[in-house]
Amino acid sequence: MRRFGGKVVIVTGSGRPRGLGQAILQRFADEGAHCVVSDVSSGGEGLASSADMAEVVADLEQRGAQVLVQPCDVAKEAECEALVAAAVARFGWIDVMVNNAGIGFVMKPLLETSGDDWDRVLDVNLKGAFLASRAAARQFIAQGPGEDGIAGRIINIASQAAKSGFPHMAPYTASKHGMVGLTRSNAVELGPHRITVNAVCPNHVTTGLGAAQNEYFSKLLGFASVDAYLANMRAKNPLGRPGLASDTAAACAWLASSDAVYVTGEALNVSGGEEVH
């Protein structure tokens, strides 16, 4: 299927190999989309290096996609505006904005969590989604509706932590709960402009970030090893496994497709039945 032939898809936080953002772009590339790779390019903790970006781009090009790389710190208003402007300058328009950039490696007890920790996570995870959504919405409104009657899609990558609380992750959990609120508010406000806004709420996915969480929580919860922790995770899931990045990517593809033109304001669980709220 080439459902997205000629469509332009931006995914923030997509510059790391084997990350969730890369998987989302891979799915769109396989279905014909032009891809905008965006990440913070400094190679620090949780950040993409130039080599990382190059690997992601090479993979997408092998899949037949035209690719633009536009570094962006989503916590900075001007960089979010520049991200959308660069995509439009290259391709002429945009069709999908996926707000995937996030910080999930700040794991501390509440009493040890600093104000700076809080600001760091909320600035990227929630403020970043707000800024990128606003920049995309302005462009969607300027473009007007396409052939399927939709001007654009905004898809927010939330989390199971948007529905349930988790220990030692107060800023992350709050940011993801807030992302669902942002999704619902924006869906109501942007609906008259023919823009759909939805969130995807995956359970645990073992990406690079997920691996760090595995290490932390296996020790916190008293498991003998990461393998034992993962075995317990599989056992408590109705479908018998943690999430895959491809599961989230498939949900994004559906929400961006013509099959989902009447779906907006949703926070879609992709958790194998683990999360039902």
Residue 203: the pLDDT is 92
Q: How far apart are CA 142 and CA 206, in angstroms?
A: 38
Report yes or no on 3 lying in a domain.
no
**Is the pLDDT assigned to residue 263 strictly greater than 80?**
yes
Residue 85: the pLDDT is 98
Same domain, 221 and 191: no
- pLDDT band at 45; cut points 50, 70, 90: low
Residue 204: the pLDDT is 83
Long-range CB contact pairs, 175-182, < 8 A, 24+: 175/102, 175/121, 175/122, 175/125, 175/126, 176/125, 176/201, 178/122, 178/125, 178/126, 179/99, 179/125, 179/126, 179/129, 180/156, 180/267, 182/126, 182/129, 182/130, 182/133, 182/156
Summarize pLDDT for 143-179 with one digit per residue, the tens.
999 999 999 999 999 999 999 999 999 999 999 999 9
Contact (Cβ atoms closer than 8 angstroms) between residue 274 and residue 207: no
Same domain, 167 and 110: yes
Residue 106: the pLDDT is 93
Catalytic residue (choose from 7, 172, 229, 262): 172
Query: What domain range includes position 50?
Result: 8-205+244-262
Lowest mean pLDDT among 45-59, 89-103, 250-264: 45-59
Biggest CA–CA distance in the chain, Å, is: 56
Instruction: Give the whole-number percent of the chain exceeding pLDDT 90.
Output: 81
Summarize pLDDT for 176-223 with one digit per residue, the tens.
999 999 999 999 999 999 999 999 999 988 665 667 788 888 888 888
Report yes or no on 2 lying in a domain.
no
Report yes or no on 270 lying in a domain.
no
Same domain, 187 and 228: no
Catalytic residue (choose from 176, 219, 236, 262): 176
Q: How far apart are CA 221 and CA 65, in angstroms?
A: 43
Same domain, 149 and 210: no
Residue 129: the pLDDT is 98
Same domain, 140 and 55: yes
Mean of all residue pLDDT scores within the chain = 94
What's the rounded mean pLDDT across residues 247-265?
Answer: 98
For this structure, is 172 an active site residue?
yes
Same domain, 166 and 234: no
What's the rounded mean pLDDT across residues 249-269?
Answer: 98
If one compares 76 and 220, the residue with the highest pLDDT of the two is 76
For this structure, is 176 an active site residue?
yes
The total of structural domains in the chain comes to 2
